[in-house]
Structure 1
Amino acid sequence: MSLFSVPSMSIILERLPKIFPEGTENRNYLIREMAGKTIFVMFYAGAIEGEGRWIRPNQVVNMGDSQTAKTSEDERLQWIENSLKSKKKRFQPADAWYAENTREPIRDETLKNGLIPCRAVLKREGIPTTSSAPRYCLNKAFANLFDENLSGDELELAIDNWQKSYLNKAALSRIRLLKSGAAIASDAVTVTFPNGEMRILAPGPSSVIAKAVIESFALRFLKNPAVLWLSESGNKVVARDEVLATELGLVIEPSKALPDIILVDLGDDEDGTDMLVVFIEVVATDGPINRERKIVLTRLALEAGFSEKNLAFLTAFSDRSVAQFKKAITELAWGSYAWFASEPEHLIELRDNLPMKLSTR
């Protein structure tokens, strides 16, 4: 049985970010050089679904640039045989890609937490965990995406079809939401308030997140939402509901350190006991609700006569894979929430002084 042709490393590394766009879980594991080299070795070894060939992580470790230049079928078959020998008989080339102990991140990050959950790589069943037998191969449809004859619209269509067939619905939804956000970030952003009013925000990622907060978060997580305050960078006031603010006794002064958005959940109790004021920071670059920010906003609300039980604090991001969230997570205030425009049905709660048992006995 002849071996599959091997695409160039440049083609593999160029296409991985297109196959796994922003929003793909563990994307870093999927598009970095280690993933590209792992895929290259699978091609080199003929480890493609249906071919009856498999690789193990140390074959990636023991590949070197000098070997990749040997592309005849006989040379590849000889390498496969040699690379599967026991450690004592196996020869590691001087230009080996990785140190011997690098097989763990290849196995655990690139394969187990990256390519396998995306169904780009298949794992051979029935092999004991302690066995050194090879057990990984490329999904054939995924392998076809690296055909060097594919280009332009034909490549885009092939990638789109593969994503629809093999990525789960949650992953696809997350990717599409991020794509749609990126597409409108360069144009003025129209936001529809819960009461039907519309406002125009300046182009940019912050406006895209703010739109998602008002149109999606508010309707999903609040009973009877209203926009009390909406601003853009530079303290530009987009919307301020003075009538509602006066009724609530909340003084809105742009000169104060107000958040990007203030939502009010008017609730459904006539006495207003279930009313909630939600202070929201939109993070496209910086500025989450940290401990200090929460203290300032709490003081503002308490001065207006609110009780702390009627307050909530939210930091909104585009996606949990973005650098802004990874940077902010270490300083987000306890007793606040984090929400992502790309996964609108989910909410992270940083519980504070509210003990909860994970199991009951």
Structure 2
Amino acid sequence: MSLPPLTTWSEIHRRLPLIFPEGSPNREHSIWEIAAKTIFVMQYVGAVEGRERWIRPDQVTRMTDTQAAQTTDTVREQWAKDSMKPSKTDIPGRWYAVNTRESIRDDTIRYALIANGAVLDKPGVAVTSPAGRYALQSDFADLLDPALSEAVLKAKIDAWQKKYLNAGALARIAIVRRGAAAGGDHQLVTFSNGETRRMSTGPSSDISKAVIEVFAPTFLDKPGVITLSESGNKVVARDDELAKAIGLTIPAEKSLPDIVLVDLGPIHPLLVFVEVVHTDGPVNEARKTALLKLADKAGFAPVNVAFVTAFLDRGSATFRKTVGTLAWGSYAWFASEPERLIQFSEKVKRIEGSSQ
């Protein structure tokens, strides 16, 4: 059986973000250079579903640019055999150091490519076995064909995603795509009381709309919107009567968060400050302290105040950039996973098991 057509690792690297778009689980490790080179090595030796050929992670570390440029079947077959043999000989120009094989196995193959259906793990192979155990899923391998035109590639990618990505992954991708592709010069935001307001389009506005229309009714019993602002501190909505009813004085200053919600369900209303983060500006410790002072003036004890930082997606670079600064005692919410909420607990007395 002849080996499959070979695509350069750089072209594979270009295609991976198309196959795993924003919103895909474990996207970072599914599209980075290591993933592209790992996939290239599988293709190089013919490790594709149905061919009964499999690779080990250390074979990825042994590949070199010089070897990758030698593409005849004879050379590829010989390297496939040689790269499986134990060797202490130094390999000039090797792609990765020997001690990176565990990272390739775990971060890239197991938790990204296998989790997303792109790679198969051969059943029955012991963890300690020196035998190869990883191969490309056959339909995924078809997406790497160098002869595909851009139009055909796009069609094949769409079909592959619908067939192999799970419903949750597809939902996240759809939400992120919808936020990135919003058009027009404005969009309507519908409040819980049925009123609507216009907001300019853009990623931050998309997240704000999701907070009002999805987060609030999901996590609050009787939600109300006190203020809603856009980037540039433009006030879209301001309910002074509602604020007055709960004893909150809204200052005419720029210190207010993007959204101020209230839950009228509890005996003592819950005040919810929400910062919308597309690039920067989460609820950090300094921001939390300032907002607690504002709430205190209105007679809200800390127990009746909540802080939320809203993001578009958990896999976004923005969340990774800011997660280390989020205040303890606050929450993180993601428009792409609307029924989930991350709590940064200040004090945990005991660990509880997972519940469904």
Q: What TM-score bracket applies, with the shorter chain setting the length? A: over 0.9
Q: Which residue matches 1:67?
A: 67
Output the CA distance in 1 between the equivalents of 2:65 and 2:284.
Answer: 48
1:265-307 CA distances to partner (integer Å, 9 max, x unpaired)?
Answer: 111xxxx615211111111121111122112211212211223
TM-score using structure 1 length: 0.93
Separation of aligned partners in 1, 2:37 and 2:185: 39
The residue correspondences of 1:41-52 to structure 2 (distance < 5 A) are 41-52=41-52
Partner of residue 302 from structure 2, selected from 293, 305, 308 = 308
How far apart in 2 are the matches of 1:31 and 1:220? 33
**Distance (whole Å) between structure 2 residues aligned to residue 124 and residue 354 of structure 1:** 41
The whole-number CA distance in structure 2 between the counterparts of 1:174 and 1:15 is 20
Quote the offset at 1:85 in angstroms. Answer: 1.5
Q: CA deviation at 1:359?
A: 5.5
Q: CA deviation at 1:125?
A: 1.2
Q: CA deviation at 1:340?
A: 0.6
4+ residue runs over 4 A deviation: none
Give yes or no for the alignment of 1:172 onto 2:170: yes
- Asked if 2 retains the 8 angstrom alpha-carbon contact of 1:237 and 1:254, the reply is no
Structure 1 counterpart of 2:335, from 338, 341, 344: 341
Percent identity over the alignment?
53
Where do residues 83-122 of structure 1 align in structure 2 (5 Å cutoff)?
Answer: 83-87=83-87, 93-122=91-120
CA–CA separation in structure 1 for the residues paired with 2:129 and 2:182: 51
Contact 1:260 1:281 survives alignment (8 Å): yes
Alignment match, 1:321: 315
What are the Cα deviations for residues 89-138 of structure 1, in whole angstroms up to 9, with x where unaligned?
Answer: xx554222222222122111111111111111101111121111111100
* CA deviation profile, 1:43-97 (whole Å, cap 9, x unmatched): 1101000001111112111111222222221111111111112225xx5542222
RMSD between superposed Cα atoms in Å: 1.8
Change (3 A) 1:125 1:359: closer
Shift of 1:356: 4.1
Q: Does residue 26 of structure 2 align to residue 32 of structure 1?
A: no
- Indicate the SS of the match to 2:272: strand
Displacement of 1:238 after TM fit? 0.9
Which residue of structure 2 lines up, in the alignment, with residue 282 of structure 1?
276
Residues 1:299 and 2:293 aligned together = yes
Q: How do residues 227-242 of structure 1 correspond to structure 2 at under 5 angstroms?
A: 227-242=225-240
Amino acid at match of 1:287: G
Cα distance in 2 for residues equivalent to 1:146 and 1:29? 18
Q: Determine if contact 2:17/2:31 at 8 Å carries over to the other structure.
A: yes
Letter in 2 for 1:301: A
Deviations 1:223-268 (A, max 9, x none): 111111011222211110111112112111221511110111111x
Q: Say if 1:62 and 1:92, in contact at 8 Å, map to a contact too.
A: no
Asked whether the equivalents of residues 233 and 254 of structure 2 are also in contact (C-alpha less than 8 Å), the reply is no
The equivalent of 2:344 in structure 1 is: 350
Structure 2 stretches of 5 or more lacking a match? Answer: none
What CA distance in whole angstroms lies between the structure 2 residues aligned with 1:326 and 1:273? 37
Question: 1: distance between equivalents of 2:21 and 2:332?
Answer: 23
Q: What displacement does 1:354 show? A: 5.5
> Deviation per CA, 1:154-211, whole angstroms, max 9, x where unpaired?
2222111111211121111111110001011774232111111111112321111101
Partners of 1:67 and 1:313 lie apart in 2 by 54
Q: What secondary structure does 2:325 align onto?
A: coil
Which residue identity does 1:61 align to in structure 2? T
The answer to which of 44-53 and 28-37 deviates more is: 28-37
Structure-1 separation of matches of 2:70 and 2:284 = 56
Q: Using the alignment, how far apart are the partners of 1:313 and 1:185 within structure 2? A: 30
Aligned residue for 1:333, secondary structure, equals coil
State the match for 1:332 in structure 2: 326
Q: Distance in 2 between matches of 1:116 and 1:341?
A: 25
CA distance in 1, matches of 2:37, 2:219: 44
Give the partner amino acid of 1:310.
Answer: N
CA drift at 1:27: 1.4
Partner of 1:146: 144
Q: Is the 8 A contact 2:5 2:146 kept in 1?
A: no
Matches of 1:347 and 1:169 in 2, distance apart? 19
